[in-house]
Structure 1
Amino acid sequence: MTGTIVITGASAGIGRATAERFLQAGWNVALLARRDEVLKEICHGCPTALPVACDVTDLGAVEAAFDAAAGRFGRIDVLFNNAGVFPESGLIDEIAPESWSSAVAVNLTGMFNAARAAFARMRRQEPQGGRIINNGSISAHVPRPNSVAYTTTKHAITGLTKSLSLDGRPYDIACGQIDIGNARTELLEDVIERTLEADPLAEVPPTMDVSHVADAVLNMAELPLSANVQFMTLMATKMPYIGRG
């Protein structure tokens, strides 16, 4: 199966790797992110790629981006709801209120905005239906230390996934969640760097190649709408998830 996918946070990390994998597989891909120049570089010379500069915290910009994708490719088959940030680490009384607000704005409201835009178009297009894949996290289930803002927003995504999965049934809209642990991306590199700055003797966590995540998202997307991966956990084998909580 191929079709049209919208990917948020597509300029780096998991989003970029996934966009490139879907393009290789012959999909139409709308790449959404704030860094327009990076998106254009990724899409250069590819007729099935559409770069759209978009801040997911801006509902109007998100609506316009989905209109552009549907206008270019005719319909929206899949949303990979991926954009996210990892705010500063610390105890709840140590982190800045701005860090909390930023995490909620991107990780929760931004994912709500994208899901809202996708759901509306999937419900109204012919033939009706589509699939929303939310990027949760291992932290959607068990926290890392000193990550109250990130963990709280990612727990909320599990609720979003369940609600969309339930509400989408009458419209052939499937919703699943992929919970990723320690894919080697710029975001994880930043977390590791911060950890080592705080404690130079800290153990560097086990990681896995981000390409495995892209392959997994493609597998979820290529299922017929009669089947759904509700939750998938994909992580570095030796990372402390089992035993962490």
Structure 2
Amino acid sequence: MTGVAVVTGAGSGVGRAVAETLLYAGYRVALAGRRRETLEETAKGDGVLVVPTDVTDEASVKALFDATLAEWGRIDVLFNNAGTNVPATPVEDFTVEQWTKVVDTNLTGVFLCAREAFRVMRDQDPQGGRIINNGSISATTPRPNAIAYNATKHAVTGITKSLSLEGRRYGIACGQIDIGNAATPMTERMSQGVMQANGTKAPEPTMDVQNVADAVRYMAGLPLNANVQFMTVMATTMPFIGRG
């Protein structure tokens, strides 16, 4: 076996593709997400643990890591992937409820999962492990009308850097993958046109989500004395470079 991985948001999209790819590569994988039924659709074959999890809830996150340890005794990789968004909304119309929904999942959830993984990786023998955070191209270049998503993804970069710094003494590596327009149910709207920086709407190209999964597998498979600190994987012709 290659190792033990925890994948959050594993019931669909990027999380499902990464979980399936890690399983194929020989990892034992704990699948975390809100809905058991979608996690069970992801779970195929041996070496899978389904753990319904609310990443915004501290007790639920602890239960996820406790269950994984009880099953396999250690955790080598966390793909910190769970995230959410709300419909495009100008900042002046953005509600506190919308803000809280995005921040709770995209920021607090990432922190809670990273903290629990860090504790496990610090204390296990052999010591160490790898945390891979799912950022976004919005971690560096925001889209209009998405203030909470943009803010949380910028903040994920700060979490990644903090974990990298504090993990050195324990053999814990942390990197971030920033994804642009992978073809998933969340990005289906791209083909219908999305808001551009100049206020117009335009369709955007997408790429196969398997490209993302292969990139995460590469990051996860490095020895702990090497790290991909930041990686951007995107549809080649999407409007990112020069956006705005």
User: Which TM-score tier does this pair reach, normalised by the shorter chain?
Assistant: over 0.9
Check conservation: 2:193, 2:204, Cα contact below 8 A: no
Check conservation: 2:11, 2:41, Cα contact below 8 A: no
Q: Letter of the 2:186 partner, please give it.
A: L
- Unmatched 5+ stretches in structure 2: none
Tell me the distance in 2 between the aligned counterparts of 1:22 and 1:152.
Answer: 30
Residue matched to 1:8: 8
Residue matched to 2:79: 80
| CA deviation after TM superposition for structure 1 residue 88, in Å | 2.2
Q: Letter of the 1:72 partner, please give it.
A: E
Tell me the distance in 2 between the aligned counterparts of 1:171 and 1:105.
Answer: 28
Q: Please give the per-residue CA displacement for 1:158-198, whole angstroms capped at 9, x wherever unaligned.
A: 000000000000000000000000001111125666849xx
Bigger shift: residues 148-157 or 91-100: 91-100
Mark the CA change 1:124 to 1:106 in structure 2 (over 3 Å): closer, same or farther: same
Tell me the distance in 2 between the aligned counterparts of 1:43 and 1:13.
Answer: 14
| CA deviation after TM superposition for structure 1 residue 37, in Å | 1.2
Tell me the distance in 1 between the aligned counterparts of 2:106 and 2:86.
Answer: 10
**Are 2:105 and 1:106 equivalent residues in the alignment?**
yes
Residue matched to 2:22: 22
Q: After the TM superposition, which residues 84-233 of structure 1 pair with which residues of structure 2 at under 5 Å, given as runs?
A: 84-190=83-189, 195=194, 202-233=201-232
Check conservation: 2:22, 2:29, Cα contact below 8 A: yes
Matched position secondary structure for 2:166: helix
Q: After the TM superposition, which residues 15-54 of structure 1 pair with which residues of structure 2 at under 5 Å, given as runs?
A: 15-44=15-44, 46-54=45-53
Matched position secondary structure for 2:21: helix
Mark the CA change 1:193 to 1:34 in structure 2 (over 3 Å): closer, same or farther: farther
Tell me the distance in 2 between the aligned counterparts of 1:181 and 1:193.
Answer: 16
Matched position secondary structure for 1:144: coil
Check conservation: 1:88, 1:99, Cα contact below 8 A: no
Mark the CA change 1:2 to 1:32 in structure 2 (over 3 Å): closer, same or farther: same
| CA deviation after TM superposition for structure 1 residue 202, in Å | 3.4
Task: State percent identity of aligned pairs.
Answer: 58
Matched position secondary structure for 1:205: coil
Q: Letter of the 1:170 partner, please give it.
A: R
Tell me the distance in 2 between the aligned counterparts of 1:109 and 1:191.
Answer: 27
Matched position secondary structure for 2:201: coil
Tell me how large the CA RMSD over aligned residues is.
Answer: 1.6
| CA deviation after TM superposition for structure 1 residue 214, in Å | 0.2
Tell me the distance in 1 between the aligned counterparts of 2:128 and 2:241.
Answer: 36
Tell me the distance in 1 between the aligned counterparts of 2:191 and 2:154.
Answer: 22
Check conservation: 1:88, 1:95, Cα contact below 8 A: no
Bigger shift: residues 223-232 or 183-192: 183-192
Matched position secondary structure for 1:31: strand
- Unmatched 5+ stretches in structure 1: none
